[in-house]
Amino acid sequence: MKYWGLKSSRSTSKAKEPINASRMSSDRKASISRNTAETKIQLSVNLDGQGTSVIATGIPFFDHMLTLFAKHSLIDLDIKVDGDIEVDFHHTVEDTGIALGEAIQEALGNKSGIQRYGHAYVPMDETLCRCVIDLSNRPILEFRAPQGSPDAQNFPFSLLEEFFRALSSNLRANLHIEILYGRDGHHLAEAAFKSTARALRDAMTHHPRIIGIPSTKEVL
């Protein structure tokens, strides 16, 4: 199923496999190649990495946020984006969220043995953010922040919600992010990225007592 009305070309590091509830993948990696008239993206993930990253989106603040995301999710992340940032940052930020969501979804496979749910509270100086995630295959974002939240320097606050909406839609996750309070635009963004990363880390982690798909439907 396609999202966002844009065509993308995809290459993955492993072939599609039939769903097998007893299989627990030991190679949770994927690569995405996404090319549109607005952005060209090469992205790869290793869900069982150490949080290393090589990020080049052309937007220094966004690079910083994605580096934080990799570090706190323990996902090894390699991203190269050539976007129309001379227009504005919107297409680059949104399309990176689309590609990242697609790659993580692909790498998760049939989700056998994962914890599925994760949550995290993350403070960043005067800011506190809560994230709760369900890798349910039912995409929705609920994003809440204090009214009048300020921009970070050179990065509009509104792009936070655009990124996380693209991520949740293409990861097909139920994602709730609430910035409970805060005043500094940099801290608001950083707490949102870190809390999402740590919640996702828990949700995608295998648990030794979980056998098969963590759903009574027996599919996610």
Q: In whole angstroms, how far apart are CA 1 and each of 6, 7, 39, 205?
A: 11, 11, 20, 25
Residue with tokens 């919600």: 161
Candidates 205, 203, 182; CA nearest to 192 is 182
pTM for this prediction: 0.88
Residue 16 in tokens: 């599609």
CA–CA gap between residue 82 and residue 41 (Å, rounded): 7
pLDDT for the residue 8:
43
pLDDT tens digits, residue range 116-165?
A: 999 999 999 999 999 999 999 999 999 999 999 999 999 999 999 999 99
Q: What pLDDT, in 10s, does the model give residues 51-85?
A: 999 999 999 999 999 999 999 999 999 999 999 99
The answer to whether 165 touches 104, Cβ cutoff 8 Å, is no
Q: The tokens of 196 are what?
A: 């999402």
Supply the DSSP string of 58-110, one letter for each residue: S-HHHHHHHHHHHHHHT-EEEEEEEE-TTT-SHHHHHHHHHHHHHHHHHHHTT
Tokens read off for 86: 């001379």
Q: Can you give the three-state secondary structure of 124-187, one letter per residue?
A: ECCEEEEEEEECCCCCEEEEECCCCCCCECCECCHHHHHHHHHHHHHHCCEEEEEEEECCCHHH
Question: Quick one: pLDDT at residue 26?
Answer: 66
Does CATH number 1.10.238.10 belong to domain 29-204?
A: no
Average pLDDT over residues 192-218: 95
d(CA 150, CA 200): 26
Give me the pLDDT at residue 185, please: 98
Position 16 scores a pLDDT of 40
Q: Is 163 exposed, middle or buried (0-12, 13-18, 19+ CB in 10 A)?
A: buried
What is the spatial distance between Cα 131 and Cα 187, in angstroms, rounded to a whole number? Answer: 15
Q: What is the pLDDT of residue 12?
A: 44
| Residue 198: predicted pLDDT | 98
Mean confidence (pLDDT) of the chain: 91
